[in-house]
Amino acid sequence: MTAKVIDGKAFAANVRAQVAAHVAKLKETHNIQPGLAVVLVGEDPASQVYVRNKHASTIEVGMASFEHRLPVDTSEADLLALVKSLNADPKVHGILVQLPLPAHLNSELIINTIDPAKDVDGFHISNVGLLGTGQKSMVPCTPLGCLMMLRDHHGKLAGLNAVVVGRSNIVGKPMAQLLLGDSCTVTIAHSRTKDLAAVCRGADILVAAVGRPEMLTGDYVKPGATVIDVGINRIERDGKAKLVGDVHYESAAAVAGAITPVPGGVGPMTIACLLANALTACCRANGLPEPEGLTA
Ligand code: NDP
């Protein structure tokens, strides 16, 4: 079998276009412009690239973008004061503090100071609790993107066996909660899981969020399964820098029914879902109906 390739780039472009259409309608009918604030502390090169991309994508869909770049030695008090001022700013509907923060800053405290209704990353403890109890919340962007692609590919997910490899707070756990919310039978695997390959071979849906280049080979895949590769790993091969996932693409694609590539799979969906979350936050803040198909 040769797997269908799930084109995350095209899917993300479609999500962004839907967001842009909603934003235009909000302006036209209610004179409201959703606003997204991104806070970057320090000069981590990867974070700078992400923040630049987020800014450009926000403008592209017609939202207001508020960028706050702070020096690496910013005090916790100053950062907390900025977050509180963004919480109080009615033009700002979404707030994202780019992680990782410099070591002297308490990330948990900063994230939990964001107004949960503006927490477009879905990392605030209230949103974690709401998602865990099946209530309306802001959902972390990467798992939300995976869920959208899975719903699109399968239609209903109820009753399917899903295995999520990885139990991080930003990917693995929320991914598992979302799949459970769609009535999958969910297994969460991690570094202590025994006979991981056998566990994975039970999956109709296999989500890899491990952070280990090409670890899950075709031997981990049930014939016909859908494989979602969240991994982003920079490796060197034949003297060249290369981006690979947590799944060994060639061997997995030979067994799977559908698969997301790296790059061009889950990655582009993350920023698209950030924009979708900012739009959702804006609609909720104004008591307007949420955009259909762009939330969990
Ligand atoms: P973490 O390092 O926080 O978590 C990795 C998880 O994988 C842990 O739960 C760990 O288990 C598990 N794990 C590690 N080694 C093994 C192993 N040998 N067998 C089974 N499980 C193992 O990573 P993240 O969740 O933050 O990210 C995962 C991947 O997704 C990374 O490649 C990251 O770059 C990528 N990513 C991509 C995004 C995107 O936009 N596409 C966004 C965020 C992340 P244990 O808990 O037992 O240690």
pLDDT in tens, the chain (296 residues): 689 999 999 999 999 999 999 999 999 999 999 999 999 999 999 999 999 999 999 999 999 999 999 999 999 999 999 999 999 999 999 999 999 999 999 999 999 999 999 999 999 999 999 999 999 999 999 999 999 999 999 999 999 999 999 999 999 999 999 999 999 999 999 999 999 999 999 999 999 999 999 999 999 999 999 999 999 999 999 999 999 999 999 999 999 999 999 999 999 999 999 999 999 999 999 999 999 999 99
Q: Are 17 and 272 in contact (CB under 8 A)?
A: no
The binding-site residues of ligand 1, defined as CB within 6 angstroms of any ligand atom, are 142, 165-168, 170-172, 189-193, 196, 209-212, 230-233, 246, 266-267, 270
Protein residue closest via CA to atom 8 of ligand 1: 166
Ligand 1 atom with the smallest distance to the CA of 172 is 25
Q: Are 162 and 185 in contact (CB under 8 A)?
A: yes
Best residue among 192, 232, 243 to mutate for probing ligand 1's pocket (most ligand atoms within 8 Å of CB) is 232
Best residue among 210, 212, 234, 242 to mutate for probing ligand 1's pocket (most ligand atoms within 8 Å of CB) is 210
Question: In which residue ranges of the chain is CATH 3.40.50.720 found?
Answer: 141-268
Distance from the alpha carbon of residue 209 to the mean position of ligand 1, in angstroms: 4
Question: In which residue ranges of the chain is CATH 3.40.50.10860 found?
Answer: 30-115
C-alpha to C-alpha distance for 187 and 2, rounded to whole angstroms: 26
Distance from the alpha carbon of residue 24 to the mean position of ligand 1, in angstroms: 37
Q: pLDDT value at position 2?
A: 85
C-alpha to C-alpha distance for 66 and 170, rounded to whole angstroms: 24
| 30-115 CATH | 3.40.50.10860
Q: pLDDT value at position 1?
A: 66
CB neighbours of 62 closer than 8 A, spacing ≥ 6?
A: 20, 23, 24, 27, 33
Nearest to 175 by CA among 224, 137, 209: 209
Q: pLDDT value at position 28?
A: 98
Q: Are 131 and 155 in contact (CB under 8 A)?
A: no
Distance from the alpha carbon of residue 212 to the mean position of ligand 1, in angstroms: 7
In 3-state terms, what secondary structure has residue 189? strand
Catalytic (active-site) positions: 54, 98, 121
Distance from the alpha carbon of residue 208 to the mean position of ligand 1, in angstroms: 8
Quick check: pTM over 0.95? yes
Ligand 1 atom with the smallest distance to the CA of 165 is 21
End-to-end CA distance of the chain: 31
CATH superfamily of domain region 141-268: NAD(P)-binding Rossmann-like Domain (3.40.50.720)
Ligand 1 atom with the smallest distance to the CA of 267 is 41
